[in-house]
Structures are given as C-alpha cells and as structure tokens.
Structure 1
Amino acid sequence: MAKGEQTRQFIIEKAAPIFNTKGIAATSMSDIMEVTKLSKGSMYVHFENKEVLACAAVDHNMGMLNRKLQGALSQCKTSKEQLFAYIDFFSDPTHPPVTGGCPLLNFGTEADDTNPVVKEKVNSGIKQGQKLLSGIIEKGIANQEFKSDWKAGDFATILFAMLEGGHLMSRVAGKNDTMKIISNTLKNLIEQNSI
C-alpha cells in the first residue's frame, strides 16, 4: 500500500468510531485532527471535505460490523445455529461489536432526512442483512431443519427490525433487559419453526 493510501486508511480508521459515536453533523474536522494528530492541510489532501470522509467512515464501520458478524456465523454448522449466533452477536448493545453502536441504526437515523448518500448506504446494508437472514432460513428449509411453510423473507424482516429496535431501546436505557426479552422471543420463534 502506498504511503498516501496508508495515511488515508489511517484517517478513516481513526475517524470511524468518532462519526459512529457523535454522528456526522456533530463530528468536526478538529475532532479528527485531534485523534490523527494531522494538520487540517494533511486531512484535506486525502479528503476533499468532511462529507467525503464521513462516507468513508460509514463504509468502514459497516464493513467492520459485517466482517465480525461473518466471523461469528462461520463458526456455525447449521442454519439454526447461524440464526442463534446472529441474535447473540447483537444481544449486548451496551457493549456493541462496533464502537459507538450499530452503524446502520446510528447513521440511518441521522441521514434519513439529511444525507441521501449515507441514507442509501444504510438502506443497502439493511437489505443485505435481510437477504443474509432470508438465505440462512431458506438453506435451513432445504436441509429440513425448518418447516417448509416458514416465510423466510417475512421472518428475516421481523428479526432484523426487532434487533435494531432492541438495540435502540437498550442503548438509551443503558442496560440490556429489553434485548434479552427480544432475543428470547426470537429464539422461541425459531424453535417453533424448527423440525
């Protein structure tokens, strides 16, 4: 990797947790300069403005979340184990897998009315998450782990939405009681659709 690309990646890695924690609007270039120890001129050599850096930070946070999730799912042998691992991966919002919490929730909430580029990135991430879950269920149906009439797409949407809602409620409350209820409910629904 060339030195310029290394510096660019360094800036993204340092900026990503700040954007995910404070939000795009509340994060200043001064915040990024403080953690990178780079001058404003150096920052603007690599990123033409804060919005460009923010988009790179969104991609970085979502990519990190996806890599960690894929690592957890790759340890599973069955589709049922994968669904349970997916739920468990998100079950402790007070100690999230990505600093600052779920980037889909954080950036989606901020960008839905203000930033169409980030909004589309988040929307794409949501669709990928639902597609992943739906694919796991469909594979489980094909392997006769789950009932053949289980609607994979519907349950993928329910699971995804309940975890995101639970994440929000738990982060705001500062405790995981809500997420425990949601996790148990989702696992019971999976059991009810298992053969």
Structure 2
Amino acid sequence: MAKGEETRQFIIEKAAPIFNTKGIAATSMSDIMEATKLSKGSMYVHFENKEVLACAAVEHNMKMLNERLQRTLSQYTTSKEQLFAYIDFFSDPNHPPVVGGCPLLNFGTEADDTNPVVKEKVNRAIQQSQLLLSGMIEKGISNKEFKADWNSADFATALFAMLEGGHLMARMSGNNDRMQVIGNTLKKIIEENSI
C-alpha cells in the first residue's frame, strides 16, 4: 500500500467510529482532525469534503460489521446453528460488535431523507443481509434441517426487522431485556420449522 493510501485508510479507520457514534451531520472535520492528529490540509488531500469521507466511513463500518459476522458464522456448519449464531451476534446492542452500534440502523435512520448516496449503501446492505438469511434457510431446507414449506424470504425479512427494532429498543432503554425476548421468539420460530 502506498503512503497516500495508508494515510487515507488511517483517516477512514479513525473517522468510522466517530461517524457511527455521533452521526454524519453532528461529526465535524475538526472531530476527525483531533482523532487523526492531521491538519485540515492533510485531510482535504485525501477527501475533498466531509460527505466523501462520511461515505467511506459508512462503507468501512458496514464492512467491519460484515467481516465480524462472517467470522462468527464460519464457526458453525448447520444452517440452524448459523441462524442461532446470527441472532446471538446481534443480541447485545449495548455492547455492539462495531463501535457506536449497528451502522445500518444508525446511518439508515439519519440518511433516509437527507443523503441518497448513504441511503442506497444501507439499502444494499439490508438486501444483502436478507439474502444471507434466506440463503441459510434455503440451504437448511435442502439439507433436510427445515420444513420444505418454510418461506425463507418472509422469515429473513421478519428476522432482520425484529433484530433492528430490538436494537433500537435496547439502545434507548439501556438494557437488553426486550432483545432477549426477540431472540427467544426468533429461535422458537426456527425450532418450529426444524425437522
């Protein structure tokens, strides 16, 4: 990696948790300069403006979340185990796998009316998550783990929405009680559709 690319990556890595915690609108270039100890001139050599840096930070946060999730899922072989692991991975929103919480929820909520570029990135990530989940179910149906008539797309949508809603509830209340209810409910549905 060339020196310029290393510096650019360094800025993204320092900026990503700040954007995910404070939000795009509330994060200033001064916040990033303080975290990186770089001058304003150095910042603008690598990013023409805050919006370009914010988009890179959004991508970085989602990539970090996905990599950590994939590492967790790779430890399991059956589809049922992987679905349970997916639920468990997101079961403690007050100690999230990415600093600041779920980037899909954080950036999606902020960008839905204000930032079409970030909105599209989040929308794509949501679609990829649902495809991952429905793929696990389809694989489980093929492997005779799950009932053949289980609608994988519908459950993937419900699972994703319930976890994101639980994430919001847990972050607002400061505890995971309702997230545990959601996780248990989802696991019960999986058990009911298991062979």
Q: Same fold (TM over 0.5)?
A: yes
Q: Distance in 2 between matches of 1:53 and 1:59?
A: 10
Q: Which residue of 2 aligns with 1:16?
A: 16
State the SS of the aligned residue for 1:27: coil
Please state whether the residue corresponding to 1:97 is helix, strand or coil. coil
- 2:54 aligned partner, one-letter code: A
Mapped partners of 1:9, 1:32: distance in 2: 13
Instruction: Identify unmatched segments of 5+ residues in structure 2.
Output: none
Task: State TM-score, norm by structure 2.
Answer: 1.00
- Partner Cα distance (2:101, 2:139) in 1: 29
1:132 aligns with 2:132: yes
Residue number in structure 2 paired with 1:116: 116
Q: Which residue in the other structure is 2:156 paired with? A: 156
Query: Cα distance, 1:106 vs. partner?
Result: 0.1
Cα shift at 1:83? 0.1
Q: Tell me the CA shift for residue 77 of structure 1.
A: 1.1
Partners of 1:77 and 1:130 lie apart in 2 by 19
Distance 1:191 1:158 in 2: 15
- The equivalent residue for 1:105 is 105
- Amino acid of the structure 1 residue aligned with 2:182: I
1:127-164: CA deviation from partner (whole Å, max 9, x where unpaired): 00000000000000000000000000000000000000
* Structure 1 counterpart SS, 2:150: coil
Q: Distance in 1 between matches of 2:19 and 2:32?
A: 9
Identity %: 82
Question: Are 2:80 and 1:50 equivalent residues in the alignment?
Answer: no
Whole-angstrom distance in 1 between the partners of 2:5 and 2:15: 15
**Whole-angstrom distance in 1 between the partners of 2:178 and 2:30:** 36
Give a deviation string over 1:11-41, Cα, whole Å, max 9, x none: 0000000000000000000000000000000
Match of 2:190 in 1: 190
Q: Which stretches of structure 1, 4 residues or longer, exceed 4 Å deviation after superposition?
A: none
The aligned residue for residue 85 of structure 2 is 85
Q: Distance in 2 between matches of 1:136 and 1:49?
A: 40
Uncovered stretches (5+) of structure 1, i.e. residues with no partner? none
Partner Cα distance (2:173, 2:124) in 1: 28
Q: TM-score w.r.t. structure 1 length?
A: 1.00
Q: Distance in 1 between matches of 2:169 and 2:41?
A: 40
- Name the CA distance, whole Å, in 2 between partners of 1:16 and 1:174: 23
CA distance in 2, matches of 1:14, 1:172: 26
Mapped partners of 2:40, 2:175: distance in 1: 39
CA RMSD of aligned residues (A): 0.2
CA deviations on 1:17-68 (whole Å, 9 max, x unpaired) are: 0000000000000000000000000000000000000000000000000000
Give, as a single letter, the amino acid of the residue that structure 1 aligns with 2:191. E
